[in-house]
Amino acid sequence: MNVLRTILTIEACALGIAVAWGYAADIRWWEALGFPWAALLGLPAGLVLMAVSTAAARLAGDRVSFLDDLMAPLFRRVGLPEIALAAGASGFAEEALFRGVMQPLWGNLATSVIFGVLHTGRRDLLVLGPWAAAASLLLGWLYTTSGTLWCPILAHTANNFASMVYLRYFHPGHNPAEPVSME
């Protein structure tokens, strides 16, 4: 399985939905992409999200075996360019959809519940749902407070980038001798 291709396909679909839905609902979320300097608050917010999630995963121990069984193997053979591309694509596309389209329609709470539900899939991933919903509440607050989508986009991207780097290079069981290849 090519993890980068899968991630980019999913995020392209999310972005396509955001654009189509935005036009249909007359929500021009792309107009909120102006770049005020307040958007830079997204970078430290994303790193805080990643630090809290890493600490929580360490405290939970075996209860979050999906990190060892599912997540770490996905990123074991990717390099920094692929990680940066995947993190940027997911941050941009998901924030366009969730903050740009869904939050104006349904509010931050309902959007965050949906975000949490969509970040689960298998029974062993259920633990991700509440965490993703809580992170989504912060991302929604960042959007409302900053007035620009760039703030949650940067936070989401920073969180995903740091998380993927951790899984690739620092997660227990990492083998630095493994070749880096996207195939």
- The count of residues in the chain is 183
pLDDT tens profile 73-115 = 777 788 898 999 999 999 999 999 999 999 999 999 999 999 9
Burial class (CB in 10 A: 0-12, 13-18, 19+), 47: middle
- Give the Cα separation of 120 and 171 in Å (integer): 21
- Give the Cα separation of 36 and 61 in Å (integer): 40
Burial 92-115 (b: 16+ CB within 10 A, else e): bbbbbbbbbbbbeeeebeebbbbb
Both tokens of 4, joined, read 């980068």
pLDDT tens profile 32-74 = 776 666 667 788 888 888 888 777 666 666 555 666 667 777 7
pLDDT at 178: 55
pLDDT tens profile 139-164 = 999 999 888 898 899 999 999 998 88
Looking at residues 116-141, what average pLDDT do you find? Answer: 84
**For residue 123, pLDDT beyond 70:** no
pLDDT tens profile 132-141 = 899 999 999 9
DSSP letter for 100, please: I
Domain ranges of the chain: 84-175
pLDDT at 179: 47
pLDDT at 182: 43
pLDDT at 116: 92
The model's pTM is 0.76
78 conformational bin, left if phi > 0, alpha if psi -120 to 50, beta if neither: beta
DSSP letter for 79, please: -
